[in-house]
Amino acid sequence: MKKYADKLRSQHGLTLVELLLTITIFTMILGMVYGVLITGMEAYRKIAIEGNLRDQADYVVAMIMEEIYETPIDHIEDCGTSTNNNCVKIINREYAKADIIDTYSIVDQNYLKDNKEEKIIKFEGNDSVIIDQDTIHTEGVEFTDSTIEIICEERQRIFNSSSGPVVDSICTNALITINLNINNGIDEDSFFYTSLTLKSRFSY
């Protein structure tokens, strides 16, 4: 019993080596917990950025489709350049007379409709989309090198009733492809730089 009482009264504590070892282990555990926490927060932020990019892309495509489907269209034209397919033009009320000749639908360019309407859909610069002269600015989002292309599926031939021969043709049905190269508009070397390549395809 006396030995046990003496042991309780002992003032012996941790040695310096034991103290340093405890601090080292605690620091290692704290560093691992901090690393896991920071990695999780960064991953959550990147997921949020990607979600915002997809939302912005969906919004732009929905606006383009709404404009095309709600506009009466006689035909559609590519108004981009040979090196940059970033523009299409939808045209309404241009030709008034159509005949069936040799199983082709023929329109006469001498019978132009009144009040011809043209609407342009275009990717302008890195951060703007123009739809019928209205510019959609997407905050914090860039559409670098995005394109809108048409593949004509049905054409009408145009002739001149005065001279007779077919002079041109117009695209009356087309497959429209929107290629979105979208990013969050920050330095590409940044950890949080995020880019997506999305494609939407529909017919009119």
How far apart are alpha carbons 172 and 170 in whole angstroms?
A: 6
Q: Give the pairing type, strands 104-108 and 147-159.
A: parallel
Contact yes or no for 132/123 (Cβ under 8 A):
no
Which stretches does DSSP call E strand in 161-204? 166-183, 195-203
Instruction: Reply yes or no on whether the pLDDT at 103 is more than 50.
Output: no
Q: Give the pairing type, strands 134-137 and 87-92.
A: unpaired
Mean pLDDT in residue range 114-119 = 72
Instruction: Reply yes or no on whether the pLDDT at 183 is more than 70.
Output: yes
Share of the chain above pLDDT 90, in %: 0
Residue 93, Ramachandran bin (φ over 0: left; ψ between -120 and 50: alpha; else beta): left
Provide the pLDDT confidence category of residue 8 given band limits of 50, 70 and 90.
very low
pLDDT at 9: 54
How far apart are alpha carbons 158 and 171 in whole angstroms?
A: 11
CA angle 149–150–155, rounded 5-degree value = 165
- Name the burial class of residue 60, with classes exposed (0-12), middle (13-18) and buried (19+) by CB atoms within 10 angstroms of its CB: buried
Between 131 and 110, residue with greater pLDDT: 131
Instruction: Reply yes or no on whether the pLDDT at 184 is more than 60.
Output: yes
User: Considering only 56-60, 95-99, 151-155, which range has the smallest mean pLDDT?
Assistant: 95-99
Mean pLDDT in residue range 92-107 = 57
Q: Give the pairing type, strands 166-183 and 147-159.
A: antiparallel
CA angle 186–187–188, rounded 5-degree value = 110
